[in-house]
Amino acid sequence: MKHMMQVWMATTAVMVLTTMALADSGNQLMQNQAHWYQAAATLVGPVDGIDAKTGTLLTLKTGSSVYMEGGSTLHLYQMNAHALKGSAVVKGSSTDLLKALKAGKVGSMSLVVPVAVLKSRESGLDDNADKALKSTENPEIRFDLTKESLVAGVSNDSYVMNASGTLTIAGVTNPVTLVSHVTISDNQIHLKGVQKLKMTDFKITPPSISLVVTSITCTDEITVYYDVIFAAK
pLDDT of residue 15: 39
Contact indicator for 123, 117 with CB cutoff of 8 Å: no
pLDDT of residue 161: 94
**Tens place of pLDDT per residue across the chain (233 aa):** 444 334 334 444 443 344 344 334 444 333 445 799 999 999 999 999 888 877 889 999 999 999 999 998 778 889 999 999 999 999 877 678 888 888 888 889 999 999 999 999 888 888 888 999 999 999 999 999 999 999 988 888 899 999 999 999 999 999 999 999 999 988 899 999 999 999 999 999 988 777 666 777 889 999 999 999 999 87
Q: How many CB atoms lie within 10 A of CB 115?
A: 18
d(CA 231, CA 233) in angstroms, rounded, equals 6
Contact indicator for 60, 88 with CB cutoff of 8 Å: no
Residues contacting residue 9 through CB under 8 Å, at least 6 positions apart: 212
pLDDT of residue 99: 87
pLDDT of residue 211: 65
SS3 assignment, position 222: strand
Q: Read off the DSSP letter of residue 207.
A: P
d(CA 192, CA 178) in angstroms, rounded, equals 10
pLDDT of residue 29: 37
pLDDT of residue 55: 82
pLDDT of residue 155: 81
Contact indicator for 178, 196 with CB cutoff of 8 Å: no
Query: Tell me, what amino acid is at 31?
Result: Q
Closest to 166 in 3D by CA, of 87, 119, 108, 207: 108
Instruction: Provide, for the chain, the percentages of residues in helix, strand and coil under a 3-state DSSP scheme, each rounded to the nearest 5.
Output: 25, 50, 25
Closest to 178 in 3D by CA, of 113, 114, 110: 110
pLDDT of residue 6: 42
DSSP states along 34-67: --GGGPPPSEEEPPTT---SSSEEEEE-TT-EEE
